[in-house]
Chain A
Amino acid sequence: MKKIIIYKSTLLLALIVSISSCEVFEIDKVNNPNAADAAVVQSDATKSQIQGLVTGLESRHRGYVATTSRAFGSFGRETLSFRDSDPRFTQDWLGRALPPDAAFFAVGNTYNAPYQAIKQANFLIEAANNTANLTAAEIAGVEGFAKTIQGYQYLVPWLAQGSNGIRIDVSDPLNPGPRLDQAAALTAIRGILDEGNTALGNAGSSFAFSLTSGFAGFDTPATMRELNRAIAARAAMYAEDWAGVITALNSSFMDPVASQTTTTFAEGPMHSYAGPPDGFNPFFFPLDQFSTQLEVVHPVMIRDMLAGDARGSKFFERVNNPVTNQALVEYTATHQDGRWASNTSGVPFIRQEELVLMLAEAEAQTGGTAAAVAAIDAIRTVNGLAAYTGGTTNAELIDEILFQRRYSLWFEPMPHRWADLRRYDRLGDLEGDWESTTGAFIATDESIFTQLAIPQAEINWDNLQSGN
């Protein structure tokens, strides 16, 4: 009996060994049939692979646009987000439910998308530095472009997070740097923009890659530097480094104030959309068509608008189809976003008009009253209003500039009005929720947000690292 068992076990073992060495039991390595492996560009990337990553960065660069504009548009009472199918877009974003918590409704993309663009830029820089197929100047060109975009993208979470501060060193996913406080983070962002500027200075006369038509006019190292400086001016403005704003603007693509026109105001780089297989402009909605799902103009924008303001053309009146919303049943919205010619129109992310407004503010803050008034007048007259006749104290000028910024930069990608009022500690000026008893938006209430909460995944990571 025992012998039989031993004998049979030996046989079994022998059989298993022989079967396992048989070819039919080998398995071939399966390569991903749906996409390329990330490793292929990590060393010795070809120029066309670098080009792919550059275009990929352009794609990541616009990832934040739709959600960021809608959420911050609601927080700053520029727009209301009407979604009959999910009332939280209206209610929660107007602050009806609860103040923002770590998992606040539908704002994750305002944080994640910019950081994914930053990640793509880091990945691109790494790939460019790890190939023999680019010259030193070409590498500098890639780096300059990537860091310019990074500087722009860091500002989005920096603005949303306010006093929470943000992380800047995010290159190692498992070992991110500390969360810097608000001021230190902004200094670091400005440093990244400056590095980009320097790199672009070493990039020769042309890039080794091409950009989409959204960057028309900013597609050489020299012109990309002008864009870099425009973004640097914005960062300097948030840092209240007014001299820095003026210096940066002088190297930017801003034309002299005196020569500004409607055309020059519109000039600036854009996020482009081409339709399938690309996406559509997320803000385009056919004019005055019935819908329960679109952004409407916040009524206070219409209420406060000056007569004759050409910027009123941004607000298209829905004559046949005013919109009501299940979450705000007593209120009927009358205007929609009317800025877009078609669903493939590009979305500008920084324009000359904003540069002129930044100049006005920096001059006003540094005692350059005449220059400030000249810039304000450019804004007013190009937009069909009479020249400025108000007072010229710092406070009066700032009042005027904030008012003009509200109409010039309405519903543009960065959180303009919300951030502007916070800069000047005037969040109390914001209108609150709709009050059914008076049939109006009440002046202010507890539903005004100061900033968003630190996202859940960030808190979790900190806890995980500290062993909590």
Chain B
Amino acid sequence: MGNFYKRLKVSCIMLLFSGTLFAQDFTVSGTVTDAFNNEALAGVNVIVKGTSTGTITDIEGAYRLEVPAGSTTLVFSFVGYLSQEVAISSSQTTIDIQLEEDITNLEEVVVTGLASSIKRSNLANAVSTISAEELTGTTSPQTIGSAMYGKLTGVNMNTASGANGTAPSVQLRGISTVSNGNSEPLYIIDGVYVNNNAISNGMSTATGAGGGQSSRLQDDISTRIADLNPDDIESIEVLKGSSAAAIYGTRANAGVIIITTKRGKAGKTRVNLSQEVGYNQAVNLLDFADWDQTKIDTYFGGSAQRTADLASGRDNDWEDIIYGEEGLITNTSLTVSGGSDKTQFFINGSVRSEDGIIKNSGFSRNSIRANIDHQISPKIKISSSSNYVWTENDRSFNGNQNGTGASFGYNLSFTPPYADLLPDADGNYPNNPYFSENPLALRDKATNNAVVNRFVQAFNLDYSIWQSANSLLKLTFSGGLDFLNSSTLVHMPEDLQFQSNRVNPGDVFEGSSQQINTNMQAFLIYNTQVNDINLNTQIGAVKLTEDRESLIVRGQGLSNGQQNANTATIQSIFRQNKADISDVGLIAQQEANWADRIIATVGVRMDRSSLNLDESEFFVFPKASIAFNIANFDFFNVNQISQLKLRAAYGETGGLPNFGTTFTQLNNVFVGGSSGTTLSTTSVDPNLKPETAQEIEVGLDLGLFNGRVLLEATYYNKEVKDLINFLVPASSTGITQITINAGDLKNTGVELALSGSPVKTANVEWFSRVNYWSNETELTRWDVPASTNGGFGAGLGTYELAEGSSPTSIVGTPELTDGSGNGTGRFTPYGDAQPDYQMSFFNQISFLKNFDFTFVLHHSKGNDNINLSEFLWDLGGTAPDFDDFDLGFVDGSGNPVPNGPGRLAASGAGKFIQDASYWKLREIGLYYTLPESITNNAFKGFVEKVKLGVSGNHLFIWSDYRSYDPEVSQFTQDPTAASVEVTPFPSSRRVLFHLSVDF
């Protein structure tokens, strides 16, 4: 192997070396200013074209550069500005330049692969990028996912719970699988393949949620991307489909989200201290129904308990008592960054703490990051990114439950305002006669806590093996790891109402999980200029491993408030799980760029993985793309059009079977003190393959008025072939499912983005972007019988998988019948969880020089939910509109019936399925930067910049949906069957005040 590289190096040198005669060097100097306001630009890169010779401008915008003789062109480039090329010669040595602002980010460099990046204006795919400013500049998001809402086209996001510290689920260009995992994109941070698992904690057993009529996990947990600090991010690039993500191969079916963290810049050491203080409160409380004796007599059998309690005059607003807290949010962040020409550093420490709208709920994150870059020699550069994070999450008790009352929303559905639940002076909580638990006791005594310690390390080495005037051979090596240690605690003390009636009161689940992902990759990159064609060749290899281990112990029968499972009467191992995965990929890619006019790429990735039945088999994922920058051709001379690009891209990616899928195992069982083994009821097709997605994307980018307006239009057709799916044999065979490849799905969609700067004057600058996107999903092949999927059975609304229909379509009772009245096994269709389309408006207005105003509006249209909260409220008589008549129900004799009883009496599942379209004000922020003169005077030059602001997150929801928030999901991890609501944690609005000081 080593010899081979040596030989390769030698041959490449032989191939490319051509003698160069060095003549006399000369010096060029000048200043660089902003074309709009004539302010000096510091830090502009000035480079002799085709070489690495260059410098940067100083604080006055001045530069001075020794250039080799024979150099003909200087390139001026600066982040956020359009770069310029200027001819030079030994007689033309003073060059002053004005740079134009790059309003629509044409110049932005986009990371598109494992070892390559490309100028946005040359991209053949619609890669969405979110900069730090857009991501965290308006308000302070809790998690990376929540910062992306409304800022991307082609994405469908959904937050399952209003609990602080919840990462939304993200689906790029529709769902990419039906039954195989969660259809979440791959997250890569500085090259590290990040762990985004959700770590189970036993919660659904403690609350009984898992004991009901759904086999899906209902632990109400978040995926672990929530650990990572959004403030550390410099940019997020989203490879939405297979055509863009093909180079990531077998793990990229659901797209790839590439996150780059902030790095230091050479120059003055910058110190930033920022402090945020704010609160969150429920965004939309519902105000449950009123009660009177007639209601008790009519609908609750004249219950003596209710009659007496009502007569007591108690009138508690339980919703306000439980959800009415105003939780304090604080976030303190200190950043020091800077460095020399050789070494740059970025160090950040931040401490975030959030209390939720339910007492004893909340989220904290402490994060330390050190990013260091060092140029060892002119040829070798290394960089390291280290991040340690500690998070703690108290998620409280929400969502589904069975027989325990250990869910506030479920509990309150049945608890009327006259219930006597407030604790007495000695702290004794009365039993709740209307449900299984006193919700106040649950809130004050029970625990649902998760602590994560996490360390993410990335390392990168660039070695310029060989360089000439127009060629470069480079080796990059990178590696990284993501280590995560999680401890979970679910504790139901023995004196809770629902515990005290058990044989062994008191229940505790203590979980611990260690997970480590590692990655290594090596690439050889060869770049050469042949006349006006630039060729970039890369070959490389990648290896990934994942190792997971988790253990949950359970203790039943506790005393004296003990939480240690060791003190329990009955101690058991609730669950133990291990997984061990490794992948290997080989990559080759060739790009050709003809003077930014035609840019073409072909590439291939070959992958093998231990998740496949045959771990040694390679699967091949090709890609090809082409972009025509018509405006760059000589014949094109329409001045108003600065960019006219036609682009097309094709690529393939894969989706691996989940760990464990390929095993046919014996399960260990225990009966009457003996242990035995049972044959698993699942098995696997011996020819199982990974899922494969193929995507064609075509688009048009139109830039007008020197880049001030940009329209990007994209159409894609993504087909996922060989869906990993379950053949369900006749249940009498004792086998419940055989995993096979049996189906295809197709996502087609349109993404439109119009951005620009409608107003740009000395006093007002307004940047605006309108996004529109829609996606349609169809199961184009389905080789197994149509089946219902997810939810709580056909009677309460479920989803259907059938050929020719959308996999997220919602169906329910009554069963459809054939011509002769026999059941067909198919159910009545009612809706679809996927929206018809979504839109968002991003606006940023700078005015009076020192003010910045930003807001993001987001609209989702035509998505449907299964609203089972309302069903529970109706059963308990608490539905806000229980006593209203606006839904027009009538009884047998035509007399009007109120909504609540009307809904309960209505047959069929249709009543549970509701339109969940919405408008949301996702973010809004107003900032004021103190004028320099004031800052200088007040702080005597000690302080460079002071910024003050106020912002809001999720301030308003406009929706006809009859619950807290139209974004719901009892089953987050489920790609097709997620939009079920069962009394979730109500979502909150967040209001924050900001102070940021640069020293």
With contacts A52-B676, A115-B734, A212-B671 known, is A41 near B666, CB below 8 A?
Answer: yes
| Cβ < 8 Å to B, chain A residues 159-184 | 166-167, 170, 172-174, 176
- Give 1 or 0 for each of A258-282: 1 = CB within 8 Å of chain B CB: 0000000000000011111111100
Q: Are A286 and B212 in contact (CB under 8 A)?
A: no
- Give 1 or 0 for each of A34-67: 1 = CB within 8 Å of chain B CB: 1111111100000001011111111110100000
Is B571 interfacial (CB 8 A cutoff)? yes
Give A278 to B736 CA distance when docked, in angstroms.
23
Contact pick for A86, options B212, B436, B733, CB 8 Å: B212
Q: Are A86 and B732 in contact (CB under 8 A)?
A: no
Q: Are B436 and A293 in contact (CB under 8 A)?
A: yes
Q: Are B678 and A60 in contact (CB under 8 A)?
A: yes
Give A157 to B8 CA distance when docked, in angstroms.
71
| Cβ–Cβ < 8 Å partners of A327 in chain B | 875
With contacts A101-B823, A286-B503 known, is A460 near B785, CB below 8 A?
Answer: yes
Q: Are B672 and A15 in contact (CB under 8 A)?
A: no
With contacts A18-B1, A25-B541, A329-B300 known, is A276 near B666, CB below 8 A?
Answer: no
| Cβ–Cβ < 8 Å partners of B669 in chain A | 55-56, 59
Q: Size class of A's contact patch?
A: 35 or more
With contacts A15-B539, A52-B677, A173-B683 known, is A101 near B815, CB below 8 A?
Answer: yes
With contacts A38-B679, A112-B731, A456-B825 known, is A97 near B608, CB below 8 A?
Answer: no
For the complex formed, measure the closest distance between the CB of B908 and the CB atoms of chain A, giving whole angstroms. 9
With contacts A11-B8, A27-B615, A460-B785 known, is A118 near B660, CB below 8 A?
Answer: no
Is A136 interfacial (CB 8 A cutoff)? no
Q: Are B676 and A58 in contact (CB under 8 A)?
A: yes
With contacts A276-B572, A461-B729 known, is A292 near B672, CB below 8 A?
Answer: no
Q: Are A293 and B403 in contact (CB under 8 A)?
A: yes
- Give 1 or 0 for each of A211-241: 1 = CB within 8 Å of chain B CB: 0111000000000000000000000000000
Q: Are A29 and B610 in contact (CB under 8 A)?
A: yes
With contacts A16-B588, A88-B795, A460-B785 known, is A290 near B728, CB below 8 A?
Answer: no
- Give 1 or 0 for each of B482-516: 1 = CB within 8 Å of chain A CB: 00000000000000011011110000000000000
Is B793 interfacial (CB 8 A cutoff)? yes
| Cβ–Cβ < 8 Å partners of B303 in chain A | 324, 329
Selected interface stretch from A1-9, A68-76, A245-253, A300-308: A1-9
Q: Are B610 and A28 in contact (CB under 8 A)?
A: yes
Q: Are A106 and B732 in contact (CB under 8 A)?
A: no
Give A176 to B823 CA distance when docked, in angstroms.
23
Contact pick for A457, options B498, B674, B730, B796, CB 8 Å: B730
With contacts A28-B610, A277-B572 known, is A35 near B733, CB below 8 A?
Answer: no
Is B299 interfacial (CB 8 A cutoff)? yes
Give A52 to B677 CA distance when docked, in angstroms.
5
Give A87 to B868 CA distance when docked, in angstroms.
12
Is A343 interfacial (CB 8 A cutoff)? yes
Q: Are B676 and A55 in contact (CB under 8 A)?
A: yes
For the complex formed, measure the closest distance between the CB of A420 and the CB atoms of chain B, giving whole angstroms. 25
Give A150 to B668 CA distance when docked, in angstroms.
21
| Cβ–Cβ < 8 Å partners of B562 in chain A | none
Closest to A1 in B: B530
Is A463 interfacial (CB 8 A cutoff)? yes
Q: Are A37 and B664 in contact (CB under 8 A)?
A: yes
| Cβ–Cβ < 8 Å partners of A319 in chain B | none
Give A40 to B679 CA distance when docked, in angstroms.
11
Contact pick for B570, options A106, A275, A326, CB 8 Å: A275
| Cβ–Cβ < 8 Å partners of B403 in chain A | 83-85, 291-293
Contact pick for A460, options B573, B583, B728, B792, CB 8 Å: B728
Q: Are B732 and A458 in contact (CB under 8 A)?
A: yes
Q: Are A278 and B672 in contact (CB under 8 A)?
A: yes
For the complex formed, measure the closest distance between the CB of B274 and the CB atoms of chain A, giving whole angstroms. 44
Q: Are B729 and A25 in contact (CB under 8 A)?
A: no
Q: Are B539 and A12 in contact (CB under 8 A)?
A: yes
| Cβ–Cβ < 8 Å partners of A442 in chain B | none
Give A22 to B543 CA distance when docked, in angstroms.
12
Is A313 interfacial (CB 8 A cutoff)? no
| Cβ–Cβ < 8 Å partners of A346 in chain B | 672
With contacts A32-B665, A35-B663 known, is A274 near B672, CB below 8 A?
Answer: yes
Give A409 to B522 CA distance when docked, in angstroms.
73
For the complex formed, measure the closest distance between the CB of A283 and the CB atoms of chain B, giving whole angstroms. 13
| Cβ–Cβ < 8 Å partners of B674 in chain A | 55, 58, 210, 212
Give A173 to B729 CA distance when docked, in angstroms.
6
| Cβ < 8 Å to A, chain B residues 724-750 | 728-736, 738
With contacts A102-B815, A176-B729 known, is A27 near B676, CB below 8 A?
Answer: no
Give A141 to B606 CA distance when docked, in angstroms.
54
Q: Are A8 and B570 in contact (CB under 8 A)?
A: no
With contacts A85-B402, A119-B735, A176-B730 known, is A56 near B501, CB below 8 A?
Answer: no
Give A298 to B238 CA distance when docked, in angstroms.
60
Contact pick for B578, options A12, A33, A116, A461, CB 8 Å: A33
| Cβ–Cβ < 8 Å partners of A173 in chain B | 683, 729, 733-735, 738
Q: Are B734 and A118 in contact (CB under 8 A)?
A: yes
Is B378 interfacial (CB 8 A cutoff)? no
Closest to A459 in B: B825
Q: Are B679 and A289 in contact (CB under 8 A)?
A: no
- Give 1 or 0 for each of B557-586: 1 = CB within 8 Å of chain A CB: 000000000000011110011111111101
- Give 1 or 0 for each of B424-447: 1 = CB within 8 Å of chain A CB: 000000010001100000000000
Give A24 to B500 CA distance when docked, in angstroms.
57
Q: Are A461 and B734 in contact (CB under 8 A)?
A: no
With contacts A15-B8, A97-B795, A105-B213 known, is A460 near B825, CB below 8 A?
Answer: yes
Q: Are B582 and A27 in contact (CB under 8 A)?
A: yes
Q: Are A272 and B795 in contact (CB under 8 A)?
A: no
Give A155 to B677 CA distance when docked, in angstroms.
24
With contacts A33-B578, A212-B674 known, is A103 near B788, CB below 8 A?
Answer: yes
Is B129 interfacial (CB 8 A cutoff)? no
Q: Are A86 and B679 in contact (CB under 8 A)?
A: no
Is A123 interfacial (CB 8 A cutoff)? yes
| Cβ–Cβ < 8 Å partners of A98 in chain B | 813-814, 907
| Cβ < 8 Å to B, chain A residues 98-118 | 98, 101-103, 105-106, 108, 111-112, 115-118
- Give 1 or 0 for each of A449-468: 1 = CB within 8 Å of chain B CB: 00001011111111110000
Q: Are A54 and B676 in contact (CB under 8 A)?
A: yes
Closest to B401 in A: A85
Closest to A53 in B: B677
Closest to A288 in B: B501
| Cβ–Cβ < 8 Å partners of A324 in chain B | 303
Give A228 to B668 CA distance when docked, in angstroms.
27
Is B681 interfacial (CB 8 A cutoff)? yes
List 7 extra interface pairs beyond A87-B875, A342-B503, CB under 8 A.
A38-B679, A55-B675, A108-B731, A115-B732, A276-B572, A286-B503, A292-B435
Leading 10 A-B pairs by shortest Cβ distance: A119-B734, A55-B676, A272-B672, A293-B403, A212-B672, A289-B501, A276-B572, A460-B785, A330-B301, A56-B676
Using a CB–CB cutoff of 8 Å, the interface residues on chain B facing chain A are: 1, 4, 8, 11-12, 15, 208, 212-213, 299-301, 303, 401-403, 405, 410, 414, 431, 435-436, 497-498, 500-503, 524, 526, 530, 537, 539, 541, 543, 554, 556, 570-573, 576-584, 586, 588, 606, 608-610, 615-616, 618, 660, 663-681, 683, 728-736, 738, 784-788, 792-796, 813-815, 823, 825, 875-876, 907
Could you show 23 A-B contacts with beta carbons less than 8 Å apart? Answer: A15-B4, A18-B4, A20-B606, A32-B663, A37-B663, A52-B676, A52-B677, A56-B677, A85-B208, A106-B793, A108-B731, A119-B679, A120-B734, A167-B732, A176-B729, A276-B572, A278-B672, A291-B501, A326-B876, A327-B875, A457-B728, A460-B728, A461-B729
Using a CB–CB cutoff of 8 Å, the interface residues on chain A facing chain B are: 1, 4, 7-8, 11-12, 14-16, 18-20, 22, 24-30, 32-41, 49, 51-60, 62, 83-88, 92, 97-98, 101-103, 105-106, 108, 111-112, 115-120, 122-123, 157, 166-167, 170, 172-174, 176, 210, 212-214, 272-280, 284, 286, 289-293, 324, 326-327, 329-331, 342-343, 346, 436, 453, 455-464
